[in-house]
């Protein structure tokens, strides 16, 4: 990779902070742009420069790219709660779809031509026949969050030839775990943090829907350790080069293995050394039954495979409970 900097939007967030550290470990200079609406400034390492503003501020974004000699962007900044997006569709498209428009405009102005885009398995919606999902599987999002991510992919693909972009879109499956306690997941909507909060509050964990067409009736997801995901970003940054303008690739980033909600609860119970109590609740809007990846294309394109399993994710989440409690998240 070149001597320029990688700009990580949303680099103070849960996933972003792992990506920043992974890039630094790979010897890269990193600049972070984050509005800190959900990100945490202390998660940004001292060696990474933090600029606090929204990616919707196009002129400022382009200025930072120019002034700090940015040569590539990892774009993670976005709103990401599928259920919330059903109730706030305009806000999701403003932040996510508008964020990509602003980013591409700034990249064009600053002549930055390498991009790794944070997409999501939510673009697939409710899988009909394909399971596990390949990158060629039909895309039919069931919520505005998934729609915003798919539109982002389309805008990048359409813009790449004119802007000379070399790009990769990474469709994340369900991200979990932590690379260090201070990087723990603080999300209000992800399953593992929800289980930890329920236990800390002394109330049963909720299983949202137990009548899905799955072996135990609960949703099945492909959970991937956030450290594996961060390593996939480093590999993607190596893949996108100035020598391949106008080219791009979409890649599933998952393990290829699915786990049900009940299986996650059992793994969490094992990590805690105490059986979690759970109660059934109605389904949430926009939740598909089964979402599982075929990650073989990513293995071929990136030379990357996941190495950590569900028990690693739950154990690392439990290891971060002290940090979460001390910072008011439990």
* Separation CA 39–CA 96 (nearest Å): 16
**Catalytic annotation on 145?**
yes
Enclosing H/E stretch for 73: strand 70-75
Read off φ and ψ for residue 253, nearest 5 degrees. -115, 95
Is 57 within 8 Å of 95 (Cβ atoms)? no
The dihedral sign for the CA sequence 73, 79, 81, 82: negative
Q: What single-letter DSSP state applies at residue 31?
A: E
Structure token pair of residue 60: 């400022």
* Separation CA 264–CA 270 (nearest Å): 10
Q: Which of 145, 172, 212, 223 is catalytic?
A: 145
Read off φ and ψ for residue 13, nearest 5 degrees. -85, -175
With a CB cutoff of 8 Å and minimum separation 6, the contacts of 59 are: 106
E strands, 121-162, are none
Q: What is the 3-state secondary structure (H, E, C) of 193-212?
A: HHHHHHHHHCCCEEEECCCC
Is 81 within 8 Å of 189 (Cβ atoms)? yes
E strands, 254-329, are 259-260, 278-281, 290-291
Is 17 within 8 Å of 43 (Cβ atoms)? yes
**Among 65, 14, 48, 26, which Cα is nearest to 236's?**
26
Residues carrying an active site annotation: 145
């Amino acid at each position: 990779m070149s001597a320029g900097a990688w700009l990580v939007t949303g680099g103070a967030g849960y996933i972003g902070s792992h990506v920043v550290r992974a890039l630094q470990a790979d010897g890269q200079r990193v600049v972070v742009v984050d509005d800190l609406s959900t990100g945490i400034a202390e998660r940004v390492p001292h060696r990474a420069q933090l600029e606090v503003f929204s990616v919707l501020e196009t002129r400022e974004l382009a200025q930072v790219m120019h002034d700090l000699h940015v040569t590539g962007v990892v774009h993670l900044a976005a709103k990401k709660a599928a259920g919330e997006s059903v109730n706030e569709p305009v806000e999701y498209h403003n932040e996510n779809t508008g964020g990509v428009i602003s980013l591409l405009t700034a990249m064009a102005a600053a002549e930055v031509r390498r991009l790794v885009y944070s997409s999501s398995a939510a673009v697939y919606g409710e899988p009909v026949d394909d399971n596990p999902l390949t990158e060629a599987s039909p895309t039919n999002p069931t919520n505005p969050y998934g729609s915003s991510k798919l539109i982002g992919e389309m805008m990048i693909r359409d813009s790449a030839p004119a802007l000379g972009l070399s790009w990769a879109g990474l469709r994340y499956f369900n991200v979990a775990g932590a690379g260090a306690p201070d990087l723990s997941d603080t999300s209000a909507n992800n399953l593992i943090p929800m289980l930890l909060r329920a236990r800390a509050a002394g109330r049963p964990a909720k299983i949202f829907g137990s009548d899905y067409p799955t072996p135990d009736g609960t949703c099945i997801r492909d959970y991937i350790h956030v450290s594996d995901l961060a390593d996939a970003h480093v590999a993607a940054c190596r893949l996108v080069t100035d020598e391949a303008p106008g080219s791009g690739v979409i890649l599933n980033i998952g393990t290829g293995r699915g786990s049900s909600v009940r299986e996650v609860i059992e793994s969490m119970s094992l990590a805690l050394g105490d059986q979690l109590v759970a109660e059934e609740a109605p389904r949430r809007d926009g939740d598909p039954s089964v979402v599982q990846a075929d990650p073989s294309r990513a293995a071929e394109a990136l030379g990357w495979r996941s190495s950590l399993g569900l028990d690693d994710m739950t154990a690392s989440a439990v290891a971060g409970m002290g940090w979460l409690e001390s910072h008011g998240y439990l």
